[in-house]
Each structure stands twice: as structure tokens, then as C-alpha cells.
Amino acid sequence: MEVTKVKGTSSIYGLAQVRLTKKAALIKMDKDSGGKEFEIERENCPDGLEAGHWSVTINAAGDKLFAYKPILGTFKAKFLRFAAAKDAEPAPEWKESTYVDPATGKRKPGQPKQIFNAIILVEGQYEYLVQLPYRFDENDEGNTFIPYKKMGTWIQKLLDFLEMTGVKDKAIPYTENILPALQEMITDEDKEFTVAVKNGWIDAFSPPYIGAAKKAKAKAKKK
């Protein structure tokens, strides 16, 4: 199976207060996000930037604002793609893990885990990265299934993602890397769903707004 070790990011990200002047964005990171302050020229900020409390991503030099996103709320969303290197197919990655030793209360290295990252487009404007466990195996029929011993929050998030994107109950032929086929299948389904954002990250997936569901039903009747 093609795997890649996850590399650390050189970007600065976290929650921040953003104020705007005619020439610059004045960004003050929250205390829990480092507390640093940045003054970034408006030309080096995304179009449409508004003052407020945002989840931000800034380059390592601190002179370019890559992205800003809502911190909290419920929003309509669609699957965009799986994260991948330029000109490469999406593939699972290895992520180092840690755990808290109950005897000492100290954090220790755990077993590496395989993960993949989905990019979700929120409100047609904001891109969120969602980390999901790569827990796929082959069943007796040669299709993909998700084995688990205990239904934890991480597995539940994966199942919710697959259900909301319309592929949870579909047969997917097993390969060592199912992500390219899964991406194509989700893209073909073209489902809209709802996400709950908490602390600048997608916390949960759920069905679309009732209004959106009614519009989809009406559209289907016209066909």
C-alpha cells in the first residue's frame, strides 16, 4: 500500500481577532493560539475578508493570510476532494499518536495510525480539512468494509462522513488504496450535507437543512 508519513506544517494557524484598516489586516491570535500579532497588507489577504473572530492560516513568515474560516456554527457543505500532493492520487498517510499514561499522567508515544484527509467546502466559500481514520479492509466478496472492535468517536465520524456523502451502503471493490475510487464515487453522488464547526474544525456531519432537502426533492420531481 502506498503510504506517506505526515509532515509538520510550516504555517501558523489558530483562532484570532481580525481588524481591518484601509491598507492592512491587523490579526491578533488568541492566547491559546500563541497570542502573536500580525499586520498583513490587504493585497496579501483573501478577497472578501471581514473583521471578526476567525480561524486563520498564515504563512510562516507572517506576511500572508492564506485563509480564514468560521469558528463556530452549523453550515451547509459539500465534499471537494481528498488531500493529495500535486499531480498525485490521494493516498493514506501515517500519523504519529500519543496517549496519557494513567499511572504517571504523562503523555507517551502510541502506535502510528493511518489516516486520510477530506477537504470540505463550506457555504461555497470556506475549505476545511477533516482528518479521518483509514480503516478499510477486504471482505469475502472482495469488497471494502470497515472493521472495528468498539464504536469510538473516530470510527463514528468516518461512518457519518460516508453516509452523508452517499456512499456508505455502496459496494466498493477493495484495493490497497481505495481513496481514488472513493473520491470519484463521492464526487459522482454530489451530495449536500450539514456540518457542525467547533473551534474552527468540523466536529460532526449531519443531513442537509430541511429547506435544502425540500429543494432537492422538488428538483428531482421535475426530472
Q: Domain for residue 47, yes or no?
A: yes
- Are 119 and 209 found together in one domain? yes
Residue ending a domain, among 26, 43, 69, is 69
Q: Is residue 145 in some structural domain? A: yes
Same domain, 32 and 93: no
Q: Same domain, yes or no, for 169 and 136?
A: yes
Cell of 172: 466498493
Q: Is the pLDDT of residue 4 over 50?
A: no
- Residue 51 is part of which domain span? 12-69
Asked whether residue 135 falls in the same domain as residue 152, the answer is yes
- 130/26 same-domain check: no
* Residue 43 grid cell: 493585497
With 0-12 CB in 10 A as exposed, 13-18 as middle and 19+ as buried, what is 188?
Answer: exposed
pLDDT reported for residue 150: 81
Residue 107 sits in the same domain as residue 60:
no
pLDDT of 191-213, one tens digit each? 999 999 999 999 999 998 754 44
What's the pLDDT tens digit per position in 67-125?
999 999 999 999 999 999 999 999 999 988 787 888 888 888 878 889 999 999 999 99
Q: Give the confidence band of 62 by pLDDT, cuts at 50, 70, 90.
A: very high
User: Which among 69, 95, 117 is the end of a domain?
Assistant: 69
Asked whether residue 98 falls in the same domain as residue 55, the answer is no
Same domain, 131 and 32: no
136 and 53, same domain (yes or no): no
Q: Are residues 25 and 130 in the same domain?
A: no
Domain count, the chain: 2
CATH of the domain at 27: 2.40.50
Contact 135, 155 (CB under 8 A): yes
Using CA atoms, how far apart are residues 58 and 29, in angstroms rounded to an integer?
11
